[in-house]
Amino acid sequence: MADMQGRVALVTGASSGIGRATAEAFASMGARVVVAARRQNELATLVAEIEARGGEATAVRVDVSQPGDVQRMVDHAVETFGRLDVAVNDAGIEGPLGDVTELADEDWDRVLDTNLRGAFLCLKYEARAMLAAGHGGAIVNVGSVNSFLGSPSYAAYATSKHGLVGLTTSASGELAPRGIRVNLVCPGLVETAMHQRLRAVVGDEAIDAMLPRIHLRRAGRPEEIARAIVFLCSDDASYITGTTLTPDGGFTLTE
């Protein structure tokens, strides 16, 4: 895989899980990394770990549903490192588990505001910075297998992730002719804090019952998804835009 020397990478949702692993992957390949999330303590720990390994990183707190926060995040990246080359929009929440007829309006709004509106706002301001600099770039949105599979009891989450398909393909059509590639990564079951929260709600038996439907018979690891994301941001993926990469161990092939 091509290295990231000299490039600046911005990762939202970087305080844990796939976002954290992605930030670490970029740093290990020589990128200067801007890590963004709501949890400042976790971000500070991540920056310290990256710097201890000889990398460069800076942290910024962001609520991706707020335009002012997102603009400030992108400005921080450019002001700190002088440019923005790649961006990964990973911030997301799962919301409550429950019947769609009982879903509270405010819970629907909270999930859509973070997962879909947040991705739109991040892409908007990231692309503006890249276009202003004139050197192109790459943006990856992080969806889920629920970007194309319904999820009973998770209507808001599935809807928000479905929306990322339309956002990604539409933005690619607009931005690719101007030098910015936009792609979507849709992981399957991955060992993250979100995975553990789901286990706590539905029980180990329900989650473990999914494993035989995964061709690899196991959940993914955050670093495996991170490598797929970094690939799409690299020069090795220079002819890939507007597409969806699905690192799910073969899960959707059995649906």
C-beta neighbour count of 207 within 10 angstroms: 17
Burial 118-156 (b: 16+ CB within 10 A, else e): bbbbbbebbbebbeeeeeebbbbbbbbbbbbbebeebbb
Q: Annotated active-site positions, please?
A: 157
Nearby residues of 94 by Cβ (< 8 Å), 6 or more positions away: 111, 154, 157, 194, 197, 198
C-beta neighbour count of 97 within 10 angstroms: 15
